[in-house]
């Protein structure tokens, strides 16, 4: 087909030691991939034996430097802007960059980026108030938020700066060897990726959030189980219909939970619907509905 490798972007190297003057490891798609020597307990294993090294993937130095330059450019261009405008511009950049590297060894990198950003914000705040001391500036732009001091606005609740270390590190879990997207096990794939063509998005999201367990009995779901979405606080008692107030239960667990919370036979919108025995024939039943007053 006439395809060739570009020599300027191609090199042969060793992932553990230097090779012909080339540094160990290589960069690929913003990641630095390299082996490091380690103890026997932490080393990789081949054919049941320890090979004396471990593989480490972390953000490349060039991408870290480029990210810090981007943050620095944003801070400099907002010297005279209000604090809320600066936070709104920084949060998407920090969140997107950290999400991309949240599956590899990035804890130390995130911590260094956080420290560098703190120095940028400190210089930004001191530049706005050259006649004030550091204590006054910190009290104006940094506020206590339950467990820590964070760069946030005193007014307009909800505008807080997202630090790099706020993004959790989540390792990529390998797909089990006998699994396939076409095997019909929608419980496994919903729990893994949060979506499946065989089930609704709401059920798949709840499965992933609950890690495949029923919150009532604590047992794992299997594809043949009958499941139902339940309101944690019944709607008849003021519960909301949002995703944060829902849970996925087995059908029999849902019945037990409904009997316990006192919402059995009641609806949240048009009063209560109950079954009442008919006076003439005790074996028969009739339905009545109590309507709300206008």
Per-residue pLDDT tens for 194-231?
666 777 888 888 888 888 888 888 888 887 788 888 88
Host H or E run for residue 107: helix 107-128
Short-list 227, 232, 226, 240, CA closest to 258? 232
pLDDT mean over 237-266 = 82
pLDDT mean over 164-186 = 80
pLDDT of res. 45: 60
pLDDT mean over 174-178 = 80
Greatest Cα-to-Cα distance within the chain, rounded to the nearest angstrom = 100
CB 72 within 8 A of CB 83: no
pLDDT mean over 118-147 = 90
What the block records as the tokens of 6 is: 């570009």
Residue 69: is its pLDDT beyond 90?
yes
290 versus 123: which is more confidently predicted? 123
Residue 290: is its pLDDT beyond 70?
no
Give 277's pLDDT tier (boundaries 50, 70, 90): very low
244 versus 263: which is more confidently predicted? 244
CB 263 within 8 A of CB 254: no
Spatial separation of the C-alpha atoms in residues 110 and 126, rounded to whole Å: 24
Which CATH code is given to the segment(s) 183-294? 1.10.30
Residue 294: is its pLDDT beyond 60?
no
pTM of the entire structure?
Answer: 0.64
Q: How many CB atoms lie within 10 A of CB 249?
A: 24
Which part of the chain is CATH 1.10.30? 183-294
Burial of 39 (0-12, 13-18, 19+ CB in 10 A): exposed
Give 85's pLDDT tier (boundaries 50, 70, 90): very high
Which residues, including other chains, have CB under 8 Å from residue 289's CB and lie 6 or more apart? 270, 271, 273
pLDDT of res. 281: 44
Q: Which residues on adjacent β-strands are paired with residue 33?
A: 26, 57
pLDDT of res. 280: 47
CB 204 within 8 A of CB 196: yes
Show the beta-strand stretches assigned E in the chain: 26-28, 31-37, 45-46, 49-50, 53-59, 142-145, 148-151, 227-231, 246-250, 273-277, 285-289
Residue 275: is its pLDDT beyond 70?
no
> For 79-88, 120-129, 180-189, 272-281, which range has the lowest pLDDT when averaged over its residues?
272-281
First-last CA distance in the chain: 77
Short-list 48, 176, 162, 61, CA closest to 108? 61
Spatial separation of the C-alpha atoms in residues 256 and 232, rounded to whole Å: 13
Short-list 252, 284, 285, 287, CA closest to 267? 287
Residue 288: is its pLDDT beyond 90?
no
Spatial separation of the C-alpha atoms in residues 216 and 91, rounded to whole Å: 37
- Cα dist. 291→126, 267, 276, 286 in Å? 64, 12, 16, 16
CB 162 within 8 A of CB 179: no
pLDDT of res. 107: 92
Q: Quote the mean pLDDT of the chain.
A: 81
Spatial separation of the C-alpha atoms in residues 287 and 62, rounded to whole Å: 72
Instruction: Please tell me whether residue 191 adopts helix, strand or coil conformation.
Output: helix
Give 17's pLDDT tier (boundaries 50, 70, 90): confident
Give 63's pLDDT tier (boundaries 50, 70, 90): very high
Give 238's pLDDT tier (boundaries 50, 70, 90): confident
């Amino acid at each position: 087909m006439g395809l060739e490798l570009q020599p300027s972007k191609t090199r042969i190297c060793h992932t553990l030691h230097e090779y012909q003057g080339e540094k160990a490891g290589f960069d690929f798609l913003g990641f630095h991939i390299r082996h490091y020597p380690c103890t026997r307990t932490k080393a990789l294993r081949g054919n049941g034996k320890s090979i004396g090294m471990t593989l480490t993937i972390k953000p490349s130095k060039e991408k870290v430097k480029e990210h810090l330059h981007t943050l620095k450019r944003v801070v400099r261009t907002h010297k005279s802007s209000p604090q809320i405008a600066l936070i709104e511009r920084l949060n998407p950049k920090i969140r997107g960059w950290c999400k991309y590297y949240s599956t590899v060894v990035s804890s130390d990198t995130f911590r260094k980026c956080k420290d560098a950003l703190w120095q940028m914000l400190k210089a930004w705040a001191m530049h706005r108030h050259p006649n004030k001391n550091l204590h006054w500036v910190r009290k104006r732009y940094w506020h206590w938020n339950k467990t820590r001091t964070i760069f946030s606005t005193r007014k307009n609740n909800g505008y807080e700066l997202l630090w790099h270390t706020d993004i959790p590190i989540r390792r990529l879990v390998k797909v089990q060897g006998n699994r396939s997207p076409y095997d019909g096990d929608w419980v496994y794939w919903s729990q893994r990726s949060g979506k499946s063509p065989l089930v609704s998005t709401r059920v798949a999201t709840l499965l992933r959030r609950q890690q495949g367990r029923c919150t009532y009995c604590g047992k794992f779901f299997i594809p043949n189980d009958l499941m139902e979405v339940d309101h944690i606080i019944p709607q008849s008692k003021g519960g909301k219909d949002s995703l944060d107030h829902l849970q996925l239960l087995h059908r029999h667990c849902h019945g037990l939970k409904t009997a316990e919370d006192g919402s059995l036979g009641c609806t949240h919108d048009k009063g209560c619907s109950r079954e009442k025995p008919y006076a003439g024939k005790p074996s028969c039943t009739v339905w009545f509905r109590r309507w709300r007053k206008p």
